C-alpha cells in the first residue's frame, strides 16, 4: 500500500529532458501521424536503449487489424519486444509514447518488465479532448496507479507540458473534427 502513495504526477517541460529524449518523444508523434494516415487511431510509441538508440517502433493498428480493440501501439510493441528480447533485457530499455499508456497498455509494460516509461500527453488531457467518443473509452486510471499496484518499481516521466500541446494538435482533428472546423 505504501507504493500506491507514491503516484503523484509531476508535470515537466521539454527543458527538463535531454535533447535525445525530446527527439524520441517527437518521433512518437510522427509514428502517431503515420498511424492516423493509415486509418488508425493517432498513437505511436517506441522502445530505445539507454543511449537513445531506437530498437522498435509501433503505431496503433486498432482499425486496420480488423477492429482488434487490443491493437494499441503500446501493447503491440510489447508483443513484438517480448519475442525479441528477454525480460532481463527489457528491464534495461526505455519505453517512449506520445500518450500516457492506458490501463491495458500499462499492464503490458508491467508484464513485459519495462522499468522506465516516458510520455508526452496525459490520459486526462486526452479524455478532455475525446469526451465521450466511443472510439476512445477511457478508464480514469493513470499508468502510475497501475504500476504502483505491482511488485516492482517503474520510473514514469510525463506529462511534458509543452510537448503535450504538440501531441494534442495531432489528436484534435481526429477525435473532434467539428470542433476544429469551427475554430
pLDDT in tens, 165-176: 999 999 988 887
**80 within domain boundaries:** yes
| b (16+ CB within 10 A) / e for 139-171 | eeebbbebbbeeeeebebbbbbbebbebbbebb
Q: Using DSSP, state whether 73 is helix, strand or coil.
A: helix
Q: Which domain holds residue 106?
A: 3-175
- Whether residue 166 lies in the annotated active site: no
Catalytic position from the list 21, 74, 123, 164: 74
**183 within domain boundaries:** no
In whole angstroms, give the CA distance from residue 12 to residue 123.
15
The domain total for the chain is 1
Output the nine-digit C-alpha cell for 70.
487490443
**14 within domain boundaries:** yes
The tens place of each residue's pLDDT in the chain, 183 residues long, gives: 344 445 677 889 899 999 999 999 999 999 999 999 999 999 999 999 999 999 999 999 988 888 899 999 999 999 999 999 999 999 999 999 999 999 999 999 999 999 999 999 999 898 888 888 788 888 889 999 999 999 999 999 999 999 999 999 999 888 876 654 444
**92 within domain boundaries:** yes
Amino acid at each position: 500500500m505504501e507504493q500506491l502513495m507514491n503516484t503523484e504526477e509531476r508535470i515537466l517541460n521539454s527543458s527538463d529532458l535531454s535533447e535525445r529524449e525530446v527527439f524520441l518523444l517527437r518521433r512518437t508523434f510522427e509514428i502517431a501521424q503515420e498511424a492516423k494516415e493509415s486509418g488508425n487511431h493517432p498513437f505511436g510509441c517506441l522502445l530505445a536503449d539507454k543511449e537513445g538508440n531506437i530498437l522498435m517502433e509501433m503505431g496503433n493498428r486498432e482499425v486496420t487489424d480488423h477492429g482488434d480493440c487490443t491493437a494499441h501501439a503500446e501493447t503491440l510493441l510489447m508483443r513484438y519486444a517480448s519475442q525479441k528480447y528477454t525480460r532481463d533485457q527489457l528491464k534495461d530499455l526505455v519505453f517512449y509514447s506520445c500518450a500516457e499508456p492506458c490501463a491495458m497498455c500499462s499492464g503490458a509494460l508491467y508484464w513485459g518488465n519495462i522499468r522506465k516509461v516516458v510520455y508526452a500527453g496525459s490520459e486526462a488531457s486526452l479524455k478532455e479532448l475525446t469526451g465521450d467518443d466511443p472510439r476512445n473509452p477511457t478508464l480514469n486510471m493513470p499508468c502510475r496507479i497501475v504500476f504502483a499496484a505491482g511488485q516492482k518499481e517503474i520510473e514514469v516521466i510525463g506529462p511534458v507540458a509543452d510537448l503535450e500541446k504538440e501531441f494534442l494538435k495531432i489528436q484534435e482533428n481526429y477525435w473532434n473534427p467539428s470542433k476544429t472546423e469551427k475554430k
